[in-house]
Amino acid sequence: MSKWWKERIVYQIYPRSFQDSNGDGIGDIPGIISRLDELKELGVGVIWLSPVYKSPDIDNGYDISDYRDINPKFGTMADMEHLFAEAKKRDIKIIMDLVINHTSDEHDWFIKSCDKDSPYRDYYIWKPANPNGGPPNNWTTFFGENAWEYDPKSDEYYLHLFHEAQPDLNYRNPKVIEEIKDIMRFWLKKGAAGFRCDVINLIYKTSFEDGIHRTAITGREHFVSQEGMHKILQELHRDVLSHFDCFTVGESVFVSLRDAKMLSDPEREELDMVFYFDHLQVDRMVEKYIPKKFNASKLLRILTKWQQGLDWNAVYLENHDQPRIVSHYGNDSEYWERSAKLLATLLLTLRGTVFIYQGQEIGMTNFEFTNISQIDDLETLGVDRLLKQFWIPQSLRYKMIMPCSRDNARTPMQWNAEPGAGFTTGEPWLGINKNHAIINVEEQKERTGSIYRFYKSMIGFRAISNTLKYGEFAPVYSDKRVIAYTRTIPGEEQFSVILNFSDKPATSPFEGSLVGKVVVTNVGRDTYDGNLAPWEAVVLKVW
Ligand code: TEU
Ligand code: CA
């Protein structure tokens, strides 16, 4: 069934790095408003706004201390209302980041909850020490430490799957669920068109037994994609979401296809789509800090599994937690421009709602961090500490963590070649990539053949093509470097997409659905004969 949220392009804004309006070095809401025309011009139909709520910013806003207030760094509630109104004028919808697995430890609920006799005690997960002493169980956090924090005052521990300043809410308490419903209604009534739901498949903890020991996130079998979570999501849908014209995308970690299917099955009425991570881990071991060789066949296998396995996908290659895709699966030096266009071709020819992360449309690259002091990301700092405990020398540590640091995606947006990159007139909160002198929006908007222009034209092509939006996906060919797939509306139209993920020339078979008229090219070719240049992307109209 067609829906507006299946057809619009979603653009993720990481507010602190998007546009500063007052020279304090931090992006803000008035800054976003000043760039709305720019987003409209690119073809954006929905903005996903990373958290702008009141927060002590231990995890850059993913630790919320008041869900109904705005972080003063970003502006005021009046600014936020102005943003909704200005976006609406341009027919751009906004989805909010719903971070409800945990709050900040400065949230009023948590402060009250530290009192053992408070009615708020049960809003969080408090447990006495293990009978043998120490924390209640062996679970570990996403940032590498034990997941329990001791509170001497009440002589109990509270659970935090992320930082200790992010205590987990207790979803066995119906009052917590009612609070969340109220918060959702508050934002939907203000004009939000839905939510991106942070680590939503972790909210329900089935038991508190020790987990099977792992190098990371021990205990996960007790809290990933539990039956209790499905029930809660159905309740939120029934009582809140179904009353508004909105959509939800749930970030789901360690999610299996089966669980993702349940989460996004329209019949079950939980979420509309989910973010999963498999397709971004082709060149990573289970622990993302250990690299392995990229293999295009494996990428196509994973894409096929999810494209065919789910009714509707959330399609993305970047977000604020991932390295820049051109530095990850592309080539950010010699073939920077061409490989960024190949990745744009991939993104915009898959079936699902397309998400673009700020800066991706100009091929922003990873930052060359040379020292841990340049890093703000909690996760990177945590992993560095952990690796140090294993006596791993600094040079090797940096080699492991820097290419994956979440800060690669968090450096300020590169608007122009000026010293502050058009992002700020002040001192930016996080280093600006030196390459903004070359890689920036202003330069690429003006230049025919730029990555920005390529994104814009692919977005335009997709907007008028039912086949790209809704056509079936089928794999056609792959080897270590090349993948090819088709998008088809039976009896109507078929496209095939052929991509060479390598610095070397390559070939694809030249028969069947791999023969057709060239409709998209990143090398300026008129006809296709089975030979691909390095990092070439071509879309053929087969019939
Ligand atoms: O991310 C969840 C999560 O698993 C990341 O912490 C993880 O580091 C990432 O997938 C890369 O491996 C969400 C938010 O997107 C993230 O920014 C928050 O830090 C986290 O939840 C806690 O709210
Ligand atoms: Ca500012």
The pLDDT score that the predictor gives to residue 386 is 87
Q: Average of pLDDT values for 154-160? A: 98
Q: If you measure from the C-alpha of residue 220 to the centroid of ligand 2, how many angstroms do you get, rounded to a whole number?
A: 38
Atom of ligand 1 nearest to the CA of 59: 19
Confidence of residue 289 (pLDDT cuts 50, 70, 90): confident
Q: Which residue's CA is minimally distant from atom 10 of ligand 1?
A: 321
Which value, in Å, is the radius of gyration of the alpha carbons in the chain?
A: 23
State the closest ligand 1 atom to the C-alpha of 99, by its place in the atom list counted from 1. Answer: 23
Count the helix, strand and coil residues of the chain and give each as a percent rounded to the nearest 5: 35, 20, 45
Q: Are the C-beta atoms of 83 and 35 separated by less than 8 Å? A: no
pLDDT value for 140? 95
Amino acid, single-letter form, for residue 165:
A
Interatomic CA distance for residues 51 and 70, integer angstroms:
9
Tell me how far apart the alpha carbons of residues 82 and 147 are, in angstroms, rounded to a whole number.
40
Q: Is the CB of 536 under 6 A from ligand 1?
A: no
The per-residue pLDDT for 1 is 83
Region of poorest pLDDT, from 22-36, 233-247, 321-335, 387-401: 387-401
Q: In the structure encoding, which two tokens stand for residue 236, read together?
A: 């939120």
Task: Determine the Cα–Cα distance for residues 100 and 113; give it in Å rounded to an integer.
Answer: 16
407-430: string of b/e by CB count within 10 Å (b at 16+)? bbbbbbbbbeeeebbbbbeeebbb
* 66 is known as an active-site residue: no
State which H helix or E strand residue 96 sits in. strand 93-98
> Which ligand ends up closest to the CA of 426?
2
Ligand 1 site, residue 58, Cβ cutoff 6 A: no
pLDDT of residue 143 exceeding 90, the answer is: no
> Closest residue (by CA) to atom 11 of ligand 1?
321
Catalytic residue, from 28, 149, 156, 251: name it. Answer: 251
Sign of the dihedral through C-alpha 426, 431, 435, 441: negative
Pocket probe mutation, ligand 1, options 198, 225, 355, max atoms within 8 Å of Cβ: 198
Q: Is 251 a catalytic residue?
A: yes
- For the Cβ of 379 lying below 6 angstroms from any atom of ligand 1, the answer is yes
pTM of the model: 0.98
**253 in contact with ligand 1, CB cutoff 6 A:** yes
Query: If you measure from the C-alpha of residue 98 to the centroid of ligand 2, how many angstroms do you get, rounded to a whole number?
Result: 23
**Does residue 434 sit in helix, strand or coil?**
helix
* CB within 8 Å of 415: residues ≥ 6 apart: 19, 421, 422, 423, 440, 441, 442
**pLDDT score recorded for residue 168:** 98
Taking the centre of ligand 2 as the mean of its atom positions, its distance from the CA of residue 3, in whole angstroms, is: 36
CA of 187 to the centre of ligand 1 (A): 22
How far does the centroid of ligand 1 lie from the alpha carbon of residue 321, in Å?
6
Given a contact cutoff of 8 angstroms between Cβ atoms, the answer to whether 126 and 156 are in contact is: yes
Please provide residue 53's backbone torsions phi and psi, each rounded to the nearest 5 degrees.
-70, 165
As a three-state string, the secondary structure of 12-54 is EECHHHCCCCCCCCCCCHHHHHHCHHHHHHHCEEEEEECCCEE
Ligand 1, atom 8: nearest CA belongs to which residue? 321
Decide: 59 in ligand 1 pocket, CB within 6 A: yes
Q: Nearest C-alpha to atom 9 of ligand 1 is from which residue?
A: 321
Question: Ligand 1, from 105, 162, 163, 196: best to mutate by most atoms within 8 Å of Cβ?
Answer: 162
Q: Nearest ligand to the C-alpha of residue 74?
A: 2
pLDDT band at 334 (very low <50, low <70, confident <90, very high): very high
Angstrom distance (rounded) from CA 131 to CA 120: 25
Q: What is the pLDDT of residues 204-230, one digit of tens each?
A: 999 999 999 988 899 999 999 999 999
Cβ neighbours around 289 below 10 Å, total: 19
Alpha helical stretches, state H, 357-450: 378-389, 394-401, 441-446
pLDDT band at 285 (very low <50, low <70, confident <90, very high): confident
Q: Which strand ranges, in their side-by-side order, compose the sheet holding 44-49? A: 273-275, 247-251, 194-197, 93-98, 44-49, 9-13, 353-357, 314-316
The active-site residue out of 63, 79, 149, 198 is 198
Backbone angles phi, psi at 120, to 5 degrees: -85, -5
Ligand 1 proximity of 198 Cβ (cutoff 6 Å): yes
Q: How many other C-beta atoms lie within 10 A of the C-beta of residue 431?
A: 16
- From residue 11, give the alpha-carbon distance in Å to each of 46, 338, 379: 6, 22, 24
What pLDDT score was predicted for residue 290? 86
Reported as a single tens digit per residue, the pLDDT across 338-358 is: 999 999 999 999 999 999 999
Does an H or E element contain 316, and which? strand 314-316
Task: For residues 522-542, give the mean pLDDT.
Answer: 98
321 pLDDT exceeds 90? yes
Binding site membership of 98 for ligand 1 (Cβ less than 6 Å): no
Question: In degrees rounded to 5, what are phi and psi of residue 539?
Answer: -115, 130
**Residue 143 Cβ < 6 Å to ligand 1:** no
Mean pLDDT (the chain) is: 97
- Residues facing 291 on adjacent strands: 284
Say which DSSP state 231 is in.
H
One-letter amino acid for residue 317 of the chain: L
For the chain, percent of residues with pLDDT exceeding 70? 100
**Ligand 1 and 195: CB distance under 6 A:** no
Q: Is the pLDDT of residue 287 over 80?
A: no
Task: Decide whether any atom of ligand 1 lies within 6 Å of the 429 Cβ.
Answer: no
**194-197/247-251 β-pairing:** parallel
Atom of ligand 1 lying closest to residue 253 CA: 4
* Closest of 40, 144, 158 to residue 104, by C-alpha: 158
What is the reported pLDDT for 286? Answer: 73
- Per DSSP, the residues of 450-461 read -HHHHHHHHHHH
Confidence of residue 269 (pLDDT cuts 50, 70, 90): very high
What average pLDDT does the segment 29-57 reach? Answer: 98
- What's the whole-number mean pLDDT along residues 379-393? 92
Is ligand 1 within 6 A of the CB of residue 216?
Answer: no
Predicted pLDDT of residue 288: 81
Average pLDDT over residues 435-456: 98
- Tell me: the pLDDT tens digits for 511-531? 999 999 999 999 999 999 999
Whether the pLDDT of residue 245 is over 90: the answer is yes
Q: Give long-range contacts, CB 8 A cutoff, 24+ apart: 264-271.
A: 264/310, 264/311, 264/312, 265/311, 266/311, 266/312, 268/230, 268/234, 269/234, 269/237, 269/238, 269/242, 270/230, 270/233, 270/234, 270/237, 271/197, 271/200, 271/233
pLDDT-based confidence at 272, cuts 50/70/90?
very high
The ligand with the least distance to the CA atom of 15 is: 2
- What is the pLDDT confidence band of residue 395, given thresholds at 50, 70 and 90? very high
